A and B are shown apart, each in its own frame.
Chain A
């Protein structure tokens, strides 16, 4: 199992607003991934609401983090996002993701974005990730080189 309680994350997600999302995923006790975040005004799709692609980005990142916390870091093969209600901008939201099944090199992950005040699910996703020990090592090695260049 991975010892890191924080997902190294993507540049797109960690980079601060306006170009990135400024979101950092953390591991909870059950090894699921969690973050409290807001969509800023630059993530707008329809007026006043987050873009479907911004929603998909946060869900994809959270699923990647959940895979990482289960020692199954890899690449997204497929992702399906269900948009259940519009995600408001500039509002505290929670994203949660967890690994639900492992089959050989396939890791099945689910994620959802909820309104913390009443638990309304705004969007949920299922993802299939391609994972292997060799790929995990290769990605982590690249992270080690890449992070030394990060200046934000």
Chain B
């Protein structure tokens, strides 16, 4: 099933992800001032949005269409408006319909800005019903 990205992130952020041969989804991205939270700093929710999108891209890339059930984010270092970061996400393990994902946002100098764990629930029926409409 093809994942072309959500309206919110693909259109609102202008962000798409590239798969690596190892099944990791990755993107490099620069946050503009529209995503500002506290003055000069990128909103925690904007970081959450790109993390959720990256994890969603992973499950669709693996043909495991799923919804986010739980998302935990640890904010380690501020990302400032204008900073370029690398976003990565991968599937850690699967237990029945539960998909456990991890993701990170790192500055280009290697400093960890945020790391996240996500629990997704495999729901093929919902997405099957949408087939043809694109997603």
Contact = CB atoms under 8 A, between A and B. Distances in A.
Contacts of B75: 75-79
Interface in B2-57: 6-9, 11-12, 33-41, 43-46, 48-53, 56
A72 interface: no
Interface string A41-71: 1111111001111101111110010000000
Contact of A80 (B38, B51, B72, B130): B72
A83 B70 CA distance: 6
A20 B44 CA distance: 14
Nearest to A74: B38
Contacts, number: 143
Interface size bucket, A side? 35 or more
Contact of B6 (A18, A44, A145): A44
Contacts of B126: 46
19 contacts: A12-B35, A12-B45, A18-B12, A47-B133, A51-B9, A52-B48, A52-B56, A52-B68, A53-B50, A54-B45, A57-B43, A60-B44, A60-B48, A61-B37, A78-B73, A80-B72, A83-B67, A139-B39, A145-B39
Contacts of A142: 38-40
A61 B45 contact: yes
Contacts of B37: 10-12, 60-61, 64
B69 interface: yes
Interface of B: 6-9, 11-12, 33-41, 43-46, 48-53, 56, 67-75, 78, 126-127, 130, 133, 135
Given A51-B8, A76-B44, A79-B73, 6 more contacts: A43-B7, A51-B6, A53-B48, A54-B49, A61-B43, A83-B68
B8 A15 contact: no
B45 A53 contact: yes
Contacts of A139: 38-39
Contact of B71 (A10, A13, A56): A56
B34 A78 contact: no
Given A47-B135, A56-B52, A79 B7 contact: no
